[in-house]
Amino acid sequence: MKKSTTILLTALLIISLGLFFFNIYAGLMALILFIALFMSVKIAQTSKMHPDIEARLTDDAKGIELRNMGNAAAFNIHVAVVPMNIEFDIPSLQEEEHYQYSFEAMVEEAKVVVTFENERGVRSSESFIVSALSRDGDDPLKPVFPLFGWKKD
C-alpha cells in the first residue's frame, strides 16, 4: 500500500475513534466509512496488473481479432484455434491494443484458447467460442455478474 494511502486511512481511523468520545453514533458512522474505504483500497490493489484478452471473429469471418481489455500488458500469448489446428504466438499485447490473425478460408464456428502471462509472470488461460452467425457480445449495459435474471439471448 502506498504511504499516502496508509497515512489517510490511519488519520480516518483516529478521527473515527475520536468521535466515539463525543457521540457514539457519529463514531459508528465514521467507523463504517473507514471500513468501506479500507475494503475499496484492498479491492483496488487486487485488481491491478490484470490483463484481460478477448478473442472474436472479424466481420468477414476470415480471421480472429485479439484485444487486451485489461489494465496491464499481456506477455507470451499463445493462441490455439481448436477445430482448425492453428496455433500462433504473440510476444506482447499492451492495454487496449488489437492484434489480427487472418485465415485462408471463412470460419463458421471455432473455439479459441488463449494462454498468457502478466507482468509478474502469472499464467492465465481463457477460452472463447466464436461464431460467424452469433451477435456481438459487447453489451455496455450487461452487468459483470448475472444479476436479477439478466436478459438471455
Strands of 98-102's sheet in order across: 53-57, 63-68, 98-102
Cβ–Cβ < 8 Å for 134, 95: no
Structural domain count of the chain: 2
pLDDT for residue 138 is more than 70: no
For 46-77, the pLDDT digits (tens) are: 777 788 899 999 888 899 999 998 888 999 99
In a domain, 23, yes or no: yes
pLDDT in tens, 106-119: 888 999 999 999 88
Q: Which pLDDT does position 153 carry in this prediction?
A: 46
Tell me the CB-side half-sphere exposure of residue 126, using CA atoms within 13 A. 16
Confidence of residue 92 (pLDDT cuts 50, 70, 90): very high
User: Which residue, among 86, 127, 89, has the nearest Cα to 103 in the 3D structure?
Assistant: 86
pLDDT band, very low/low/confident/very high, at 81 (cuts 50, 70, 90):
very high
Give the CATH number, domain containing residue 101. Answer: 2.60.40.2890
Same domain (yes/no): 73, 14 = no
Chain-wide mean pLDDT for the chain? 85
DSSP labels for 5-30? HHHHHHHHHHHHHHHHHH-HHHHHHH
